[in-house]
Chains A and B, each alone.
Chain A
Amino acid sequence: MSNLLRTLRQAMTIARRDFIATVFTPIFLLFLFAPVIMGSFGAIGGMGAASVADGRADKTRIVAIVPDANARTIAEADTRLRAVFRRDEEAPPGLTTLRPAGDPAAQARAAFASKDYEATAVLYGPLETPQVLYGPRGKRAADYLGLLAAETLAANRLNGDVPRVTAVKTALERQGGSAGNRRQSASFAVFGVFLLNLFLASQVVGTMAEERNNKVIEVLAAAVPLESVFLGKLLGMFGVAILFVGFWGTIIAKLGSLLPPDVASALAIQAAVGTPAFVVLFVTYFTMAYLLLGSAFLVVGAQASTPREIQMLALPISVLQMGMLALALAGTARPDGWIATVAQMFPLSSPFAMAGRAATSPDLWPHIAAIAWQLLWVTIFITLGARLFRRGVLQSGSAKPFWKRARG
């Protein structure tokens, strides 16, 4: 059996043990459903905030102080214009009409103090030269009231015979997506790879501590090269990550199929390399980011001998991950800039940045080069980690530095 095959076989033996030891525990269920728990807290908070907002929105009004003759026309104009708003939050508050009484300006001011509703903007005066008062955050509502005045005036001049035009609407797909959409897809790719790794890669940090605490490391180190131990631990936890991603990926895909077509279309990825290649590259870069960050964390974590030391590593690890995200996102904002090049070249940010590049640039060859480059660094990290571990933990290595040994 060749050394490579033996190394892989040994690594897979360790990976299998780690995978089983991690997955077949009650704690894993907690880990698997952590997004549900996080989502539940988010939903509860969101529902509370929405409830407060809805209660406020129910009472919010725009007010038009117009004679009875114009009240119906302005209401019809409001109905016509309101139809273009897609979501409730974009629409102006509901319209209330008041009959002018006495001083319209004073009546308008008084409307802001009404207990029956909460006025954001109030229109009064002749429609040719309407006056609009508006409160905090009522500027758009004031504009809308001005528009309603113009529509009502036009309808009056046409004696209510407003032309009804029904346009023939045809959806047209832009070939390859717009630059804006591609940039949006790039940001999505960077953030997606980051988010998955934020959850999963940091799990690797403490895995060597188990072997150190149980003293199993001596058995492993005698049987297999430390490089196999490190690779095995990385692959074992990667299996856990794949299980996690597969589980949630399936659920999200199922939920996605239930979305209305126009929503699904709006959410669709528009990548320069094409969707199939983009999906493959996204998965590849997720894997590479996991292996790179995981191997770096494994190396650092292997030097820690107590749970406290491992906990202390959590902050610098999070900072490092955030730094890589920031670098990669800065690169996607200017795909041809020097920051993008740095982000694509720097080993730890390269997978994030290259996932973004897949959305903005159609060339495939840089990805082949980048994947080879990233694999090289995974190998370097694992080899370096094994050496550090051998020297620091197993107390191996020579008392002489390697350059002195090389000289004899």
Chain B
Amino acid sequence: MTVNDPAVFAEHLVKRFGERRVVDGIDLIVPRGAIYGVLGPNGAGKTTTLRTLLGIIEPDEGRRSILGHFSPREASDRVGYLPEERGLYPSMKARDAIAFMGALRGLDRRTGRTRAAEMMEAAGLGHAIDEKIKKLSKGMAQLVQLLGSVVHRPDLLVLDEPFSGLDPVNQEKLEALILAERDRGATVLFSTHIMAHAERVCDRLAIIAGGKRRFEGTVDEARGTLPSRVRYLPARPQAGVAEVLPHDATPDGDGWRFQLPREGIEGLLVTLIERGYGIGGLSIERPGLHDAFVRIVGRDAAEGEPA
């Protein structure tokens, strides 16, 4: 293992449940220190991919390494994990639950309890340090579990759908925590189907659907899979403007919409001015990650996914 090894490496990972290939030959390289998103619609194989990477379940084919170890167990003390299905012992106090999760990863109990109290204070949960889990709200319990997954200061943090079930305030807190973990030097790998979060925090991402990886790259590269769109509003509306505009131009209120031409827009603007249509308004809109996601996985697969 060297420091140049990726934090997570997977090569042709396959996992079958019965005859169904839930994970179907996925390759993944998560660079150290990156925030890496695994995006996909429901049933795409995100959770199974993460569980296979972590060694909770064994792949049927392919190989994977975590922090340079081909056996994920060997690196388990340096990994933090928030599963999709949240689970805590209801009768445990919040501080003890966090310390327990740290202890499972090799952190001594006293340190775990001290850190738990500090982290809860910092997360605005100071009042609930000695509350039993069953008395906390769902969102608070989820934050407690999240703190439990980072209390041992892992080198790799794996979060499965971390934003689901959180209110906007707590979602913001979670984003801050992910960024803070990256700043601390940790690698963060998380799955989500909420594009806004991925767009804001991810350095790189993979989009998977039907168990296959459909895209891998940066957020900009994902957005780059779709051309930018132009919205043009003539200064002097007259008949015949459509003949000047690109073939895909469609009316949009008083104006027109079309894809940004490959050769750029400067030539088109000159023509429009010369012919007297003028420029009443012009905007070039870069496609969002949501648009790229829909295009990559297909509209049918993406339907029902919130943006």
Contact = CB atoms under 8 A, between A and B. Distances in A.
Given A222-B76, A394-B56, A399-B60, A9 B89 contact: no
A220 B19 CA distance: 28
B88 A399 contact: no
Contacts, number: 79
A10 interface: yes
Interface string A180-224: 000000000000000000000000000000110011111111111
A10 B152 CA distance: 14
A367 B17 CA distance: 46
B86 interface: yes
A396 B91 contact: no
Interface in B25-62: 51, 54-58, 60
Contacts of B90: 214
A397 B58 contact: yes
B83 A219 contact: yes
A10 B87 contact: no
Nearest to B57: A396
A220 B73 contact: no
Interface in A350-408: 390, 394-400
Contacts of B57: 390, 394-397
Contacts of B293: none
Contacts of B55: 222
Nearest to B71: A3
Instruction: Say whether chain B's binding surface is mostly helix, strand, loop, or mixed.
Output: loop
A395 B17 CA distance: 8
Interface residues of A, number: 31
Given A17-B89, A222-B54, A222-B76, A399 B101 contact: no
Instruction: Say whether chain A's binding surface is mostly helix, strand, loop, or mixed.
Output: helix
A182 B73 CA distance: 51
B106 A9 contact: yes
Given A398-B58, A400-B60, A218 B85 contact: yes
Contacts of A398: 16, 58, 60
A214 B145 CA distance: 13
A225 B72 CA distance: 10
Contact of A396 (B56, B81, B83): B56
Contacts of A179: none
A399 B104 contact: no
Given A17-B89, A216-B88, A223-B101, A399 B83 contact: no
Nearest to B91: A21
Interface centre among A9, A25, A216, A395 (most CB of B within 10 A): A216
A10 B100 CA distance: 11
Contacts of B79: 222
Nearest to B52: A396
Interface in B5-25: 16-19
Interface string A20-42: 01000100000000000000000
Contacts of B89: 17, 21, 210, 214, 216
Contacts of A284: none
Contacts of B85: 215, 218
B120 interface: no
Interface in B67-86: 73, 76-77, 79, 81, 83, 85-86
A13 B104 contact: yes
B89 to A, nearest CB: 6
Contact of B101 (A1, A9, A219): A219
Contacts of B222: none
Nearest to B105: A223
B73 A215 contact: no
B297 interface: no
A210 B88 CA distance: 10
Contacts of A396: 56-58
Interface string B90-111: 1110000000110111100000
Chain A to chain B: the 10 pairs with minimum beta-carbon distance, closest first:
A215-B87, A396-B57, A223-B104, A218-B83, A216-B87, A222-B81, A215-B85, A399-B16, A13-B103, A221-B56
23 contacts: A6-B77, A17-B92, A21-B89, A210-B89, A216-B87, A218-B83, A219-B83, A219-B87, A219-B88, A219-B101, A221-B56, A222-B51, A222-B56, A223-B104, A223-B105, A224-B76, A224-B104, A395-B57, A397-B58, A398-B60, A399-B16, A399-B17, A399-B19
